[in-house]
Amino acid sequence: MTYIPVALEMYSVRKDFSENPLATMKAIKAMGYEGVEFAGNPEFCPEFYAALLKETGLVCCGWHTPWEAVQEDRLEQTIKLNQAVGNRCVIVPYLAASTNAEWAAMAAKMNALADKLAAFGMRCGYHNHSHEFKAAEDGKTPWKTYMDVCSDKVIMQLDTGNALAGGADLMAVLNAHPGRSLTIHLKPYSLDPAIGDKALIGQDDCPWKDIIAFCHAKGGTEWFIIEYECPEIPAMEAVKRCLDGLKAFL
């Protein structure tokens, strides 16, 4: 079985990182994470992020990049940032679309972005939220509309917790798009409404064994990325417990 390393979505620990970037990165490495996915517009210069990675030995496996940052007026700057940190996965975490026509149009724009980034050895992708899996026009979900138009050059970064919260059948979604999960967000979620996103990996309703088996066999997956957002558990404690929970399934 091919080894797939585990990274942390840094949005999970954004407050800690802003307050003390190096200490936070060192702690993440000590927990057993091998990579990180940064999120949002950079707080620091590219050279600072590159130095953090070099100092800690962590790999940048992605960057959640606002849609505005991949438009023509900022794309060159975004490419240079990702080159500086050695990242080749530029992931858009949110798209402003509501109707199916708008989702189809955004998918076409993502295809065009994929072609532009390919010249630099990079790929783009999209990270879902829960609302993409809720039926819209004629019973067709925004997710299906989007994926029907999206080129296979675009990474399908499925967020397991968000999708499950939206009512998705996780394995059906994954199996419908083999080879598209270069990176995948492993976010826990409980179908018990009293728990929801408070659940940690291993204490939730995501079918982890099946998800991981798919990633090894059919996903084309290069990185597992843990994300946890519930503020009721201190962020650094939560991401450590999620990693420990995931190890039981690896």
Tokens encoding 94? 């949110």
- Looking at residue 1, what is its pLDDT? 73
Tokens encoding 44? 């620091």
Structural domain contains residue 1 = no
22 touches 76 (CB < 8 A): no
CA distance 102 to 94: 13
CA distance 243 to 30: 12
Structural domain contains residue 183 = yes
CA distance 241 to 137: 40
38 touches 66 (CB < 8 A): no
| pLDDT, tens digit (0-9, with 9 covering 90-100), for 143-199 | 999 999 999 999 999 999 999 999 999 999 999 999 999 999 999 999 999 999 999
Domain extent, residue 205, equals 6-247
| pLDDT, tens digit (0-9, with 9 covering 90-100), for 60-71 | 999 999 999 999
**CATH at residue 155:** 3.20.20.150
Average pLDDT score, the chain: 96
Residue 138: pLDDT above 90?
no
φ, ψ of residue 36 to 5 degrees: the values are: -140, 155
Structural domain contains residue 28 = yes
| pLDDT, tens digit (0-9, with 9 covering 90-100), for 21-60 | 999 999 999 999 999 999 999 999 999 999 999 999 999 9
17 touches 24 (CB < 8 A): yes
**How many structural domains comprise the chain?**
1
